[in-house]
Structure 1
Amino acid sequence: MGSNLLASINDLGLGFLGYLIPFLFVLTIVVFFHELGHYLIAKWNGIKVLTFSIGFGPEIVGFDDRSGTRWKLSAIPLGGYVKFFGDENAASVPDQDALSGLSEAEKRQTFPGQSVGARAAVVVAGPLANFLLAIAIFAGIFMFYGRQVTSPRVDTIQTGSAAEAAGFAVGDVVRAIDGRRIESFSDMQRIVSGSAGQTLRVEVDRGGAPVTLSVVPMLREIKDNFGNTHRQGVLGITRSMAPEDVKLETAGPLRAAWMGVEETWFIVERTLGYIGGIVVGRESADQLGGPIRIAQVSGQVATVGFVALMHLAAVLSVSIGLLNLFPVPLLDGGHLMFYAIEAVRGRPLSERAQEVGFRIGFALVIMLMIFATFNDILHLASS
């Protein structure tokens, strides 16, 4: 294991720029739009913005705009923040001493001086911007580059597979799974991959006659084109690559936008399903990755082309938007949780309660980062 780890680290070092540049490109796009969401809604509500930073720590380069906002690129490129007038730090914790010395007109320019609804709108705008960015990227890909669509027709069936046990036959065309319409082989794969060990009701067209089958996908380790291993459910069938079963599908603007929404929702649904699986013990948490794995995947995807890299940016944008909505203090979802409590109580939680909440949230985020990084190291060691 030690030699494999050293070899992997050496490989990463030799191709360092090949990993670093795509990683920074993807992360900068995602973080910029997330913070831009906060910034735009804050400005719309009359809040004075002091800093718009991509990254944390010491400033590398920056400038001041006409409104007094400092736009800057910072040394640690693992996130970003927007700091408002009246904030104590980048986490939007109010500076009570500074606020107490402000006039009423100045307080109306602060984030704490806004109504609960306005503050909630500013907070939710970040994750919302991530979802909109993902939809726009997906829509652009579907509209300008299209996607290859393969018919959900069974070409071969592996011996001893879940499909064989369920009674699938060569030539079957899958029409629906658990009531969800199937239009392509990829539609089927997406449902099956996240359903290992679960009974699926599959409706197929067999020579023009409808047939209903019950199948339980088997959990298998699958290697992608880059050699990365993923555990997912499989039926044990292959698709038909006959010319009549394969086509390149492009879409107009409205259809592409809707397809972008569907793609975004699929990622949200699959992510929540995976997290739920971890909670109940059906999924393993070792698939969680951190910055090292994101950098590795970014470098690998960049070798395929710019479109593939933008697709990764869209997927990462959805993931970051969704993560930030979790009700953990320090994240956007934690702020929304506090605002919901304030709306119900008619007054905010005490400063002490919020401080304790932020400390707990900070500890949880740090533990998650450590765990994800540990997974990344193990992933490198086994690759």
Structure 2
Amino acid sequence: MMGILSFLFIFAVIVIVHEYGHFLFAKRAGILVREFAVGMGPKIFSHQGKDGTLYTIRILPLGGYVRMAGWGEDRVEIPKGSLVALSLNDQGVVTRLNLSKKQLDPQAVPLQVLEYDLEEALTIKGLLMDQEQSYAVDHDATIIEKDGTEVRIAPLDVQYQNASLWGRFMTNFAGPMNNFILGVVAFSLLLFLQGGAPNPNTNQVRVVESGALAKAGYSGQVTLEKIGDTTIEDYADISPAIEKATEKTTDGKVSVQVNDNSQEVQLDEIDGSYRIGVLPALDTSLAAKLTGGFTMAASAAGQIVTAIRNLIFNPNLNGLGGPVAIYQASSMAARDGWVSVLQLLGFLSINIGIFNLLPIPALDGGKILLNIIEAIRRKPVKRETETYLTLIGAGLMVLLMIAVTWNDIIRTFF
């Protein structure tokens, strides 16, 4: 149960923070955010904000989205001949168009639609009792879609493509940017919880519970002076020293000098490698705690960029992980406590931020690339071209997600 809760917590926080970045900068750019959704699928809760945004929680707690006016496939489609119920104000101007079967306004006017323009002219024309009738539509009118979702209509002046280039660029970049900020915050909280920042520049180390040194009788923070014949100066010396020392043994027993005391220690063998069971010592200064979050975030980013580069030149699905792999990691983190959960949250947030910046259509990086191309060409890419590229990119991402998830299932259960 804790594994599921940990998974949902990590996933929800990362998604909400990412989408809030898009939401915040879209609002600043003058773009209408029609819906801010947490989760996918049918909605189970909704609230119409005074800012014109519909806030929803949807039944599947995997993902979320910000629905911006004129962004991607966001369109208002009213088939010709369909019946729509119009709510009018005292001036006879339409304030709500109801395409669903819900009867929300007993005074609504039933209109069989002939034509409409909800972007420029803001009018709708149709048949009312076999008589042709036209109505003006309020700029801030809402439309109830067939599934019952009520959102604002999207006139051209509040659509994504009519915002400034800088506004659109920042709207696209803000999602990954928020992931980087979340990563730093998560790592910083982790450092305060564990009492300090790891300091690899010393031979002082922390003994891991149930590790090899712990079984040899050590605990807390100790000075690791020698492994075999190798003098330990800092944390980076430990792995090479273990590798060198275990070349001369078949049972994993090596001579270790700790706090001026030498003894034979039985190392733990994990995945074919020997481990002594230590972590870097902690720098407990306030400065280390405040700056350590940035350092850990930068280190995580470096690992992720290296992994992506390796995947590009040596494609291998085993180097990728989907929801199944994230759930497994979340379950392991939950067993180890909040420190591990925060560490995983920070790492995954940085990971998602970098992944979203890849110049692939349908990802934020693909949209940013189009913004850069527009800045160079001094004119935007055709909307139809952008739509086709986005659809192709989305299709490829869906196929990749299916392949990665299936690979995770095979690795886990078979």
Structure 1 match to 2:282: 248
Query: Are positions 1:115 and 2:164 aligned together?
Result: yes
Q: Distance in 2 between matches of 1:239 and 1:59?
A: 48
Question: Partners in 2 of 1:101 and 1:268 — Cα distance?
Answer: 49
The match for 1:127 among 176, 192, 216 is 176
Judged with a 3 Å threshold, the aligned counterparts in structure 2 of structure 1 residues 279 and 43 are, in CA distance, closer, same or farther, namely closer
Contact 2:358 2:366 in 1 (8 A): yes
1:171 to 224, 231, 241: 231
Task: Provide the secondary structure at the position in 1 that maps to 2:167.
Answer: helix
CA shift for structure 1 position 149: 4.6
Aligned partner of 1:66 in structure 2 is: 50
Q: Distance in 2 between matches of 1:348 and 1:154?
A: 63
Show structure 1 runs of 4+ deviating over 6 A: 94-97
RMSD: 3.1
TM-score, scaled to structure 2: 0.64
Per the alignment, do residues 380 and 65 of structure 1 end up closer, same or farther by CA in structure 2, a change over 3 Å counting?
Answer: same
- The 1:34–1:188 alpha-carbon spacing in structure 2 relative to 1, beyond 3 Å, is farther
Alpha-carbon distance, 1:109 to partner: 2.3
Measure, in 2, the Cα distance between the counterparts of 1:188 and 1:261. Answer: 25
Shift of 1:155: 3.7
Contact residue 327 and residue 333 of structure 1 kept, 8 A: yes
Matched, 1:50 2:110: no
Q: Which of residues 129, 138, 160 is equivalent to 2:187?
A: 138
| Deviation for aligned residue 1:379 | 2.1
2:317–2:404 Cα contact (<8 Å) kept: no
2:356 corresponds to 1:324: yes
Pairwise CA distance, 1:188: 7.7
1:289-304 correspondence to structure 2 within 5 Å:
289-304=321-336
TM-score (norm 1): 0.68
Asked if 2 retains the 8 angstrom alpha-carbon contact of 1:155 and 1:239, the reply is no
Give the corresponding residue for 1:377: 409
SS at match of 2:336: coil
Amino acid corresponding to residue 67 of structure 1 in structure 2: D
Following superposition, the deviation at residue 286 of structure 1 comes to: 0.7
- Partners of 2:405 and 2:42 in 1: CA distance: 23
1:258 to 260, 266, 291: 291
Could you say what secondary structure the match of 1:112 adopts? helix
What's the CA shift for 1:276?
1.4
- How far does the alpha carbon of each residue in 1:318-373 deviate from its partner, in whole angstroms, 9 at most, with x for none? 11111111111111111101111111111122233212211220122112202211
Percent of residue pairs identical: 29
Specify the alignment match of 1:269 in structure 2: 302
Amino acid corresponding to residue 315 of structure 1 in structure 2: F
Q: 1:98 to 1:354 in 2, by over 3 A?
A: farther
Q: 1:240 to 1:330 in 2, by over 3 A?
A: closer
What does residue range 1-383 of structure 1 map to in structure 2 within 5 Å?
17-87=1-71, 89=73, 98-101=118-121, 106-147=155-196, 149=199, 151-152=202-203, 155-156=226-227, 169-174=229-234, 184-185=235-236, 223=270, 238=276, 247-252=281-286, 255-281=288-314, 284-381=316-413
Amino acid at match of 1:249: D
Q: Deviation at 1:305?
A: 0.9
Write the letter of the residue equivalent to 1:82.
V
Of 329-338 and 261-270, the range deviating more from structure 2: 261-270
Structure 2, unaligned stretches of length 5 or more?
78-116, 123-138, 140-153, 204-223, 240-268
Q: Are the structure 2 counterparts of residues 145 and 356 from structure 1 closer, same or farther at C-alpha, using a change threshold of 3 Å?
A: same
Distance 1:292 1:101 in 2: 49
Checking the alignment, whether the CA contact within 8 Å between 1:51 and 1:70 is kept in structure 2 is: yes
* Alignment CA distance shift 1:330-1:98 (3 Å): farther
In 2 relative to 1, CA 42–279 (structure 1 residues): closer, same or farther, beyond 3 Å?
closer
Q: What amino acid maps onto 2:312 in structure 1?
A: V
Distance apart, 1:122 and its partner CA = 0.8
Deviation (angstroms), 1:101: 4.4
3-state DSSP class of the match of 1:303? helix
* Higher relative contact order (Cα pairs below 8 Å, separated by 6+ residues): 1
Following TM superposition, by how much is the alpha carbon of 1:290 offset from its aligned partner in structure 2, in angstroms?
0.4
Question: Following TM superposition, by how much is the alpha carbon of 1:51 offset from its aligned partner in structure 2, in angstroms?
Answer: 0.8
Deviation of 1:240 (Å): 7.4
Question: Offset at 1:146?
Answer: 2.6
Aligned-partner residue type, residue 146 of structure 1: G
331-340 or 271-280: bigger deviation: 271-280
Contact 1:84 1:110 in 2 (8 A): yes
Structure with greater helix share of residues: 1
Q: Distance in 1 between matches of 2:342 and 2:369?
A: 32
